[in-house]
Structures are given as structure tokens and as C-alpha cells.
Structure 1
């Protein structure tokens, strides 16, 4: 008879903080500063879009991208900060599964949003006269719904397949819970999980970038037949999107390939860098590049700061 004690769902999972605890207060300071910057920058872009009623499709998609950054960061940074202050870095099994779901959903939504933004740029540059017809409010609402529902459905199935697995261990190699880290702790066959994981990779990290690539091929074809001024404006419009999607894909593929297959053979510092890069760089990079590269948002930001904040400070100084 098989020993039932080897198969269990642990109530607490131990996280792989390792060497980070030796200078944990420094990491705590860095985490809180970085998280506050993420909150400030992303909320600033969202607030500007809402307050100034910039409800054109591009700005709606930018706001959605910023909201997704806040969504993913909320599942990572508070937990990381709390664990750094503890003597033993643990997370409940339920908390681990929730964190797993949110972080994977964040990654799926991010690539889907960037794909939709690529389609928006394609329509804007290749079919400018039909832009308002194609990107109607109804179409935008449908695209926003797809941005959230498509990855959430995929990840929900992924999590259901994971929670059915009995585990033989409770030690996560990363400093947060992700799906593969939990699945690899199972002592039963995980072929179904592996096949579905490959399906998700194809459905998101292969299909979505391919659609973006097709969009940009068409954009380049139109630019090649257009004037120099048109090409300059088109490329300037596309630059923030290209920076965002290139950085995100490099982060995700870096982590998904190297860390998935050889986590224990890599130096600890490199393992941590690979695992958190996708949660560190995009949430702060996106609002910065769209805030400074998108002319209308940049102008509203400068107007808010120089005409509202600074004059108020000057008035308060004069009144003294």
C-alpha cells in the first residue's frame, strides 16, 4: 500500500529567499521605494487620462496597461516586504495559489494588452481614414473585455490543474509562488500540467508576439511608401509600444526558459534576477515611457506639475 503521508497539501510553503536575508533591511528599503514609485507613476498616468477625459482608444489601452501593472505588483511587493522582515520566509498554501494566479494573470494580460495596442497602432497608421470606424467605442470595449477574459480563463484552468496535485514537498525555489514552482513539488505524474503549460506559452508568448510582428510588418510597408515626415511621426508613435513589448518579452522568455529548466544550477543572484525582472522593470518602465514619449500625456503631466504644484508652493512661501 502506498504511504499516504508522502502526498499532501501543505498548509505553509517555504520560499527560497536564501542569501537575501543577510541584508534584508536594505532590500526592504529598496522594495518599499520601488513599490511606491510603481504606485505613483501608474496612478499618475491613469489619473491624467481620466481627469482630462482622454478617452481615445490609445489612452484607454495605456490606462489598462498601467492598471495591470498595479494589479501584478500588488500580488508581489507587499508579500515580499513582509517576508523580508520575518525570520522564516513562508506563505500559506492558499496565499501561494492566489499569488500564483494573480502573477500569471498579470503576465497574460500584459502581453494581451500590448498585442491589442499593436493592432491599434496598425489601424491608426495603415487605415487612418477608417480609424474611428474600426476602433469604435464598441470595438474598444470588446477588446478590453478580451484583454482580461482571455488570459484569466487560460490561467484559471492552469490553476485548477495545479491544485488537484498532491505535493511531496513545501519548499519553493523562488521568492514568490508561480505555477511551475508548485507543480514541480508534486510526486505524481504532471504530464497534463506540462502539456497545458506549453499550450499557454504558445497561446500567449508565441501567438501574441506573432500578431504584433504582423502588424509592424504592415506598418513598415506603409511607411516605406510614405513621406519622410509621415515615417518619422509613425515611428515616433510606435516607439513606446516597441520598447514595452520588447522589454516584456525578453523578461518573460528569459525567466520562462532558463529558470524553468536549470534553477538549481544557476548562481543564486542570477536566479533571483531572472525570476523577478518581469515584476520589477515593466511596471515602472511602462508609465515612464508612455508618460514621456506620448506627447499629450507628457504635456498634461508638465502642466499639472508646473502650473498647479509649483505655483501653490510659491504662493505658500510668499504668504509666510
Structure 2
């Protein structure tokens, strides 16, 4: 139930919507969530560790790829632990600063992933379409700049979004979602004009998607043309395998993100289904990404089994 309060008496304690779970399913859901979280952190952590410790992976492609599992851990950690605790304790209370922090991290995760995938596509375009110039183009300075741009641009856009939200007078204490996001925080206002927030949100989403989709579409079209014109089947196969993982991850991320957005536009969809769509946006990609990369990226797969074999040899 929404509680109206004045700015002077706003005590920074909010009520967050509950994810309704049958009492008999509370602990099974909690255990499943914990296993999903641990699996995601473990798998993404393995990829991070391999990239850092194995010299064979010290290449521009993997330096850029390093950002993806890092973002995945950040995103799923911002959402899942708190949600699971709320389900078990039946608590729906959150402090305003904590809510803002969660929303900020989740939006930073989402925007960063979109730009990181674009950066990875650009790297593959240079590697496959301009192989002789790859190391002169993808210098340490260029790689560092691409990584900084992917994170910095996403961060800058989110900072502006939350600055616009922070200016609004707060007079409600009910968060309409099971996690904190920008729109939920905007709707805490009942006195300010949110037109600017709505316009910025549309421009923000359009700008982000336009850049990411344009870069990836251009890169993969050029890669496809290069593969079709290449006479060697091995080269074609290698190029397709290299890019297929990134395309799958991008499509997966877009499907869940779009589904979550559209679910709130249809009145006949149940609140729990809407909430579940939002949760899956921040949990499915961080779980699926390391699996997809583990299977589709030969260098990571071979390096992982080589390290596993060394570890096994030490104990036998």
C-alpha cells in the first residue's frame, strides 16, 4: 500500500513489492536461487581468472572480453542475494540509499553489457576482415580506450539518469518492482514534473541501442561477407565459431530485456510474471554467458581443460 509523506518527514525507508511465493516453495526457491547465484559467480570467476593468469589469453580480444564476466558478476550480485533474503524473511523494507545504489548498479550493468558486446564485435571485425592490420589497430592504447569507452559511456548515461531522478521531490514510499530501478524511483514522486525523465529515458534507450546494434550489425555483416568470399572452409568455420557466441549472447540479452519492458505494457499479464521477466533479465545472461563462451570459444575451452589437467596432475 502506498504511503504519502512530505519531503520534510521522508525517513528514507521504503516498501518494496513482494515476489509472491507459496510458503511450501519458499526454501526450494531460495536454494535454487543460491545455486544459480553461486554457479554464475563461479563460472564467470573462472573466466576472469583464466584471462588474468594464462599468458595464452593475454590478447586484445580477451582483454575486452574480461569486462563481460565482470559486469555479469556485478549485475547478478546487485539483484539476487537481496531478493532471496526478502523471499525468505518476507521482508519488503529497503532503505532509500540502498535502493538507489541497487538501481544504479543494475542500470550500469545493463548499459555496460550493451557497449561491451559492441566493442567485442568491433574487435572480431578487425581480426577477421583486417587480419594483417589487427595488431597495429588494436594496440594497448586502443584496447584500453575501447574498454574505458564501453564502461565510461554507460556510466555517464546512468549518472545523468539518476541525477534527473534525484531532483524530484519524494512523497511516496512504495517501490512497484521487486528490485529498485530508475522508473520505480521516479514514481516515488507525486509533485514533480517527470516529463524530462521520460524523454531522457527514451533518448537514453534509443541512443544506447542505436550505437550497439549499428556497430554489431556492421561488424557481423562485414564478417559474413568476408567468410562467404573466403575459399578456405577452415577459415570460415573459425570465424563463424568465434562470432556465434557473441551473437547468441547479444540476442539472449535483447530478448530478455525487451520481454521485461513489454511485460509492463500489457494489463493482462500477472504482476508475478512481470516481476519474473525483470528478474530473468539480470539473472539468465550472467548464468548463460560463461557457458556459451566456454563451449563456443576454443581458446577459453582449451585453456580451461589444460589448467584442469595440470591441477589434476598435482593431486595424482
1:56 matched residue in structure 2? 59
Q: Say which of 231, 247, 251 aligns to 2:252.
A: 247
Q: Say which of 169, 172, 181 aligns to 1:169.
A: 172
Cα distance in 1 for partners of 2:16, 2:153 equals: 30
- Measured at CA, do residues 5 and 305 of structure 1 come closer, stay the same or move farther in structure 2, by a change above 3 Å? closer
2:279 matched residue in structure 1? 276
Cα distance in 1 for partners of 2:257, 2:225 equals: 29
- 2:100 equivalent to 1:97: yes
Q: Say which of 57, 72, 76 aligns to 2:79.
A: 76
2:125 matched residue in structure 1? 122
1:229 matched residue in structure 2? 234
2:20 matched residue in structure 1? 19
Cα distance in 2 for partners of 1:162, 1:271 equals: 23
Give 1:205 shift. Answer: 2.1
Cα distance in 2 for partners of 1:123, 1:162 equals: 40
Q: Say which of 212, 215, 226 aligns to 2:219.
A: 215
Pairs within 5 Å for 1:121-160 = 121-160=124-163
Number of residues paired by the alignment? 308
Give 1:36 shift. Answer: 0.6
Give 1:39 shift. Answer: 1.1
TM-score by length of 1: 0.91
Query: Contact 2:19–2:275 at 8 Å: present in 1 too?
Result: no
Give 1:7 shift. Answer: 5.3
**SS of aligned partner of 1:283:** helix
**SS of aligned partner of 2:122:** helix
Query: Contact 2:125–2:219 at 8 Å: present in 1 too?
Result: yes
**SS of aligned partner of 1:19:** coil
Query: Contact 1:28–1:84 at 8 Å: present in 2 too?
Result: yes
Tell me the C-alpha RMSD between the 2 structures.
1.9
- List runs of 5+ in structure 2 lacking aligned partners: none
Give 1:273 shift. Answer: 2.1
**SS of aligned partner of 1:182:** helix
- List runs of 5+ in structure 1 lacking aligned partners: 316-320
2:70 matched residue in structure 1? 67
Cα distance in 1 for partners of 2:261, 2:100 equals: 19
1:108 matched residue in structure 2? 111
**SS of aligned partner of 2:14:** strand
